[in-house]
Structure 1
Amino acid sequence: MITLYGDVTKTRANRCSWMLKEIGIDYVNEPLAFRPGAEKPAAFLALNPNGKCPTLQDGDLVLYESLAINLYLAKRYGGALGPQSPEEEALMMQWSFWVATEVEKPLLLTAAIRHLFEPKQPADEELAIAMKRLSRPFSALEQHLQDRDFILGDRFTAADLNVAAVMHFIPIAEIDVSTFTAMKRWLETCLDRPAAIDVQSVNFRVPTPKSSRDIFAMFV
């Protein structure tokens, strides 16, 4: 039996629950979520010394880092969601690393500025910087999707899931992506999948942090 540690409404475990639901495999969810500085159970730290969620246990294998967990699940259990060749596997890893390095931080910051900062805190400069950083990766994905339905071609795969699981913050951040027509169509298609329910229910309205420095410890 697979066990997924992490509250799907408060941690990146929602990405992994999406994958588990897509592949239709039975699993147990332990809905852990830790506030910064909170004491963590010794049994959990024995599994993941980083003390963060999600963590996945599949028999003797213990994995952490949500996108890596999803790539493993897709390859081992995912059928058509997983790679059908070494080339596809490389592309799935490429796009998963891409969204983590190019998109996630400025997108999460934009959502935080819009919803979590103290009322009337001056954030215009930070918002402008985050939006400028997002324009290039959004343009890159838009161009890539011009002649294909999904990232790898004509089928939904782990690459789409991993990228969309990060980009689901676009509507939360109230970013207008109407000019990115292919990307918008693709993201809506991904998030409309029934298995994406946990990503769609993420609870971003948590107690207000003081500044952007407090944001990135929240969804771990």
Structure 2
Amino acid sequence: MYKLYYMPGACSRAVHALLNELEQPVELIPRDSAADFRQLNPTNQVPVLVDGDLVLREGSAIVLHLLEKHRSPTLPDDSRQRSEFYQWLLFANATLHPAYSLLFFAKLGLEGDAARKEVFDKGAARLSALWDSVEERLRDKPFIFGDTPTAVDMMLAVYADWNQHFPVEIALGDSTRQMIARVQAHPPFSLAVERERDAAVA
């Protein structure tokens, strides 16, 4: 059984949803309840996935490990299409996610209202432009890769949910909003949300 170290609402939710979709049993461990978490990940970040004696710390690495290990049909066989999948996975994890991290830093670690407002405004503009790329991709399809949600869509749905935490508008196009709603209704994803909520009140 896998062990997944997570935080509610964090990017670990996409990994949790992927494990549900792959029908893999998983032990969920809240990061803050694990006394030895920094030994698993010195950066203190989630997700961390433990698979036997293998410890994986980066979201994209975890996603690719799971897709390849369980031969998910959402990971294309065609080399060109697979490269495109890698590109969108890294756009989500290595471009969009860090842009949100800057706003979380402003909210939690930056002193001074003027400085915080400047970071929020510039960060929101940057994120809106990044979401425009998603909107363009979704112009003629319900999900990033067609008719089926993938781990990329799940990541994007998690990040979009973070917009509520900031006092600025981050613009999402209509197609993007519709995709996010579809992912939120996707049973493996909604199950991950439900399990996180149940764990929080337990």
Residues 23 and 78 of structure 1 are in contact (CA less than 8 Å); yes or no, is this contact kept in structure 2? no
Residues 98-140 of structure 1: per-residue CA shift (max 9 Å, x gap): 1233322333444676x75799933321111101211321111
Deviates further, 61-70 or 8-17: 8-17
Tell me the equivalent position of 2:20: 21
RMSD: 3.3
Give the one of 148, 161, 166 matched to 2:154: 161
Scaled by the length of structure 1, the TM-score of the pair is 0.71
Structure 1 residues 32, 176: closer, same or farther in 2, change over 3 A? closer
Give the one of 68, 73, 92 matched to 2:61: 68
Structure 1: runs of 5+ lacking an equivalent? 204-220
Give distance in 2, aligned partners of 1:40 and 1:160.
32
Q: Which runs of structure 2 are paired with 1:99-114 in the superposition (5 Å)? A: 99-110=92-103
Give distance in 1, aligned partners of 2:125 and 2:136.
17
Secondary structure in structure 2 of the residue aligned to 1:25: coil
Count of residues in correspondence between the two structures: 194
Structure 1 residues 51, 184: closer, same or farther in 2, change over 3 A? closer
The Cα of 1:145 is off from its aligned counterpart by 0.7
Residues 136-184 of structure 1: per-residue CA shift (max 9 Å, x gap): 2111111111011111122112222233333331344463536x11111
Give the one of 36, 39, 44 matched to 1:41: 36
Give the one of 184, 191, 203 matched to 2:184: 191
Residues 70 and 162 of structure 1 are in contact (CA less than 8 Å); yes or no, is this contact kept in structure 2? no
Give distance in 2, aligned partners of 1:158 and 1:132.
25
Give distance in 2, aligned partners of 1:183 and 1:17.
22
Amino acid at match of 1:128: D
Answering whether residue 169 of structure 2 is matched by residue 175 of structure 1, we say yes
Give the one of 141, 146, 150 matched to 1:148: 141
Residues 11 and 155 of structure 2 are in contact (CA less than 8 Å); yes or no, is this contact kept in structure 1? no
Residues 59 and 93 of structure 2 are in contact (CA less than 8 Å); yes or no, is this contact kept in structure 1? no
* Identity in percent: 22
Structure 2: runs of 5+ lacking an equivalent? 198-202
Amino acid at match of 1:149: P
Deviates further, 150-159 or 139-148: 150-159
The Cα of 1:200 is off from its aligned counterpart by 7.9
Scaled by the length of structure 2, the TM-score of the pair is 0.76
Tell me the equivalent position of 1:3: 3
Amino acid at match of 1:15: A
Give distance in 2, aligned partners of 1:3 and 1:32.
11
Structure 1 residues 168, 199: closer, same or farther in 2, change over 3 A? farther
Tell me the equivalent position of 1:12: 11
Give distance in 2, aligned partners of 1:177 and 1:100.
19
